[in-house]
Structure 1
Amino acid sequence: MAKYDYDLFVIGAGSGGVRAARLAAMSGARVAVAEEHRVGGTCVIRGCVPKKFMVYASEFAHHFKIAKGYGWTVGESSFDWPAFIAEKDKEISRLSGVYVRNLQNAGAELLHGRSRLVDAHTVETAGAGTITAEKILIATGGRPWMPKHLPGVEHAITSNEAFHLKELPKRIVIAGGGYIAIEFAGIFNGLGVETTLVHRGPNVLRGFDDDIRAHIAEEMEKRGITVVLGTHHTAIEKTATGLVSRFSDGHHRESDVVMFALGREPYTEDLGLEAAGVKLTETGAVAVDAHSRTNVENIWAVGDVTDRINLTPVAIREGQAFAETEFYGKPTSFDHEMVALAVFSQPPIGSVGLSEAEARHKHGKVDIYLSRFRPMKYAFMGNDERCLVKLVVDGATERVLGCHVVGPDAPEMIQMAAIAMKMGVTKSQWDSTCAVHPTLAEELVTLREKHVPQGLGAVA
């Protein structure tokens, strides 16, 4: 008789947990997965997948304007928010069902209910009782952070609720400067909502290259988004005509919806981690080593709950590495270096590697190659939207340390750039690639002159 009910118990059926559970079950292991909400996790249910559908929907208004410049006669158009939401929800349900079937086909058992650790080998799951497992994987992801003590915060929403608004607001204030705030600002603005983005920092997208940050803020304003920096909410007041956001600089703004996108936090609340002896980091994430193992020998954690790189593909690769190590005898750890990032802002951003500031700090002398230009598609009809491409190169070895793009299809381009950079491509090797013309991507392989920042010409 088996000592434990299962060989592996996974808490959380998001991207990382599902990948780990499927692979483990396919090895012949007895696997159970518990999920308190819908299978698919943040990405499928309330994250990148439905958000991308919303980005697609919001881009059509811009496409219509461009079409006129190319000679098309575009008739009256209108957007049906309830119809879009219904179709979006239908597709999300389909995708969630695919995840369920994949788990079941692999032989894993799916339990619907919230789980918490009783000890290192025991889990209590709502509706299923107490279960024991030889190995336990925590894959509960993250959730939006809210300023709980802000007066009137109960009137605000997060990205979770933004996917299910009953009607499209006429005015929205979005607090935050990260990729979620930037993306939703583009979405609502594209759908015709009067959009204001408020961020307490000096510029948006902290952690990205400074040229990218300044460029995207400028392009967002060109598209009609009001970007307010250096201030933050002090209160939200509900009135007869809407919600009044009051800011630390003394200004205020009325809107129909206030959305907070101030970051996400690891979802570890009431998981029983203390009872099992699992340690957390200073930020409240589950502390793990390179193989995603916690300080407790038989407990692992992957994905956003570990707060390493909070991206769906990273969670999947971490889950896969765990399964290969523990159930296939192939010790594997995921390399978190040179992970490409995409921000589905409008225009979108693709980034991989180091920013200029990070490169100078780590490598000393670096060479910068930068170009700003109007993309061919928009220049034709006089649109002032501009793209930016930038390469950060090690001055000693010529290795390409960073690649950053703002413009149409930037996320598609950055995936290909990441392959070369992961392999350690040098600038001369990069330049030896023949350009594909006419494309925006060719700008990446035709950057020849080093960029000298304004004011540094005399010392360059």
Structure 2
Amino acid sequence: MAEYDYDLFTIGAGSGGVRASRVAAAHGAKVAVAEEYRVGGTCVIRGCVPKKMLVYGSMFAEELAHAGNFGWTIEGTSFDWASLRDFVNRDVDRLEGLYGQTLSNHHVEIVAERATITGPHSVRLASGREVTAKHILIATGAWPATPEFPGVEHCISSNEIFHLEEQPHCLMVVGGGYIAMEFAGIFNALGSEVTVVNRTDRILRSYDEQIVDRMLHIAMGRGIDFRMHSQIKRVDKADDGCLQVDLGGTYPVKVDQVLIATGRSPNTEGLGLEAAGVELGEGGAIKVDEYNRTSCDSIYAVGDVTDRVQLTPVAIREGHAFADTVFGGKPRTIDYSSIPSAVFSQPPLAGVGLTEREARKTYGDVKVYTSDFRPMKNIFSSHPERGLYKMIVEATSEKILGIHMIGPEAPEILQMAAVAVKAGLTKQAFDDTVALHPSMAEELVLLK
């Protein structure tokens, strides 16, 4: 008889857990994965995928507004939140089914229960069933962090916003990160009055300041009200269902919904990690080594539950590397340098490598090349919005240290530019490349 019930028991069927489980199974391991909510995790069920769909839906407002300049006559347009919401949620259902099918096709057992760790090789399911595994992988992701103030129970997080019964006429978004900026842009485009409350004077702190300043200028021009150096003191629900938000001023701000988007915390509470001596770091994140191993030799962790980079593609790579290392006989690690990322604001921004501030701090002498231009598409719009691309290079060698941009389709363009940064190319490689005209991407080979 086998010493353990499974070779691998994964807790959490998000992007990292699913990839790790199916690859481990492909290597010949007997695998089970426990998921207490829905297969697919944050990204697929209540994160980047449905949010990007909402971005696409909201962009029609801008397109329709200047369709006449393209020669189109469109009459009687209206927006129905329920139609967009339900379409998005139906597609989430479809994707969940595909993720479950992928696991089943690789002979991974799906356990639709909460699982907690009871020892280095043991797990207890919510039903009371005890199972053992040679290796345990924790891939439980992260959860919205909620500040404490009176009336916080009247507020919602990014988990609930996809299921609102009605579109809020007035929405307050609390936070200055990418989740806050993306939902602020979505509902602003859909016609809601949006107020962003941030406790400091900086938003999107990990992105290049010049690019963020451009985004902030554009967002304000589109009507988003930013309240910097502000924090919620309390929220009271009025008899008419509206929320009275006290920001410390003379009069409270009246809104329909308050969205708390102040970051995400590793989802480790109640997992029983102490039973196996799994060490936690700051904020409850699981500490792991370069091979995703925790302080307990038989337990590993990948994705947002760790103290590394909270991005879906990173979790997927970590899960794959874990499975190859432990079950495939091919030990490998992840390189966390030059990871591209984007904010699907309106317009979107994206960046890879060092920001200008980081580059000057690290290298001292750097050169910065920019292109400040009005995208051709924006000529048809009433908004005089300009795109901005910038490239930071080491002064002597002109090796590219970072590329950052804001403008239509910036994330799509940056993905290929990120290859150049990762490969260690110089600006000369861009200068030697013939421009693809007319396009926005050609600005990357015309930087001055």
Instruction: Answer whether TM exceeds 0.5 for this pair.
Output: yes
What's the secondary structure of 1:163's corresponding residue? helix
Letter in 1 for 2:188: N
What's the secondary structure of 1:417's corresponding residue? helix
TM-fit CA distance, 1:203: 2.1
1:437 aligns with 2:433: no
What's the secondary structure of 2:305's corresponding residue? helix
Q: What is the alpha-carbon distance in structure 1 between the residues aligned to residue 394 and residue 184 of structure 2? A: 35
Corresponding residue for 1:20?
A: 20
Corresponding residue for 1:244?
A: 244
Q: Deviations over 1:405-453 (max 9, x none)?
A: 10001010110011111100111112111111111111111012xxxxx
Distance 1:128 1:87, change over 3 A: farther
Task: Indicate the larger mover: 133-142 or 288-297.
Answer: 288-297
Corresponding residue for 1:201?
A: 200
Q: How does 1:185-200 map to 2 (within 5 A)?
A: 185-200=184-199
1:5 aligns with 2:5: yes
Letter in 2 for 1:174: V
Corresponding residue for 2:336?
A: 336
Corresponding residue for 1:129?
A: 129
Q: What is the alpha-carbon distance in structure 2 between the residues aligned to residue 245 and residue 239 of structure 1? A: 10
Q: Deviations over 1:322-348 (max 9, x none)?
A: 011111111111111111001110000
What's the secondary structure of 1:384's corresponding residue? coil
Q: What is the alpha-carbon distance in structure 1 between the residues aligned to residue 229 and residue 250 of structure 2? A: 12
Letter in 2 for 1:286: I
Task: Indicate the larger mover: 371-380 or 159-168.
Answer: 371-380
What's the secondary structure of 1:309's corresponding residue? coil
Q: What is the alpha-carbon distance in structure 2 between the residues aligned to residue 260 and residue 370 of structure 1? A: 35
TM-fit CA distance, 1:251: 5.5
TM-fit CA distance, 1:70: 2.1
Corresponding residue for 1:297?
A: 297
Letter in 1 for 2:292: S
Corresponding residue for 1:159?
A: 158
Letter in 2 for 1:185: A
TM-fit CA distance, 1:82: 1.5
1:144 aligns with 2:147: no
Corresponding residue for 2:273?
A: 273
Task: Indicate the larger mover: 10-19 or 75-84.
Answer: 75-84
Corresponding residue for 1:308?
A: 308
Corresponding residue for 2:56?
A: 56
TM-score (structure 2 length as normaliser):
0.98
Aligned residues: 447
Q: What is the alpha-carbon distance in structure 2 between the residues aligned to residue 371 and residue 246 of structure 1? A: 42
Q: What is the alpha-carbon distance in structure 2 between the residues aligned to residue 158 and residue 250 of structure 1? A: 27
Q: What is the alpha-carbon distance in structure 2 between the residues aligned to residue 252 and residue 373 of structure 1? A: 40
TM-fit CA distance, 1:379: 2.3
TM-score (structure 1 length as normaliser):
0.95
Corresponding residue for 2:169?
A: 170
Distance 1:439 1:336, change over 3 A: same
Q: How does 1:368-447 map to 2 (within 5 A)?
A: 368-381=368-381, 383-447=383-447
Q: Deviations over 1:49-89 (max 9, x none)?
A: 11011111111000111212223222121111122222212
What's the secondary structure of 1:73's corresponding residue? coil
Task: Indicate the larger mover: 80-89 or 39-48.
Answer: 80-89
What's the secondary structure of 1:159's corresponding residue? coil
Q: How does 1:76-95 map to 2 (within 5 A)?
A: 76-95=76-95
Q: What is the alpha-carbon distance in structure 2 between the residues aligned to residue 66 and residue 311 of structure 1? A: 35
Q: Deviations over 1:258-292 (max 9, x none)?
A: 11000000000100011110001122100011111
Q: What is the alpha-carbon distance in structure 2 between the residues aligned to residue 128 and residue 413 of structure 1? A: 50
What's the secondary structure of 2:233's corresponding residue? strand
Whether contact under 8 Å (2:66, 2:380) holds in the other structure is: no
Letter in 1 for 2:66: I
Task: Indicate the larger mover: 293-302 or 366-375.
Answer: 366-375
What's the secondary structure of 1:104's corresponding residue? helix
Q: What is the alpha-carbon distance in structure 2 between the residues aligned to residue 232 and residue 213 of structure 1? A: 21
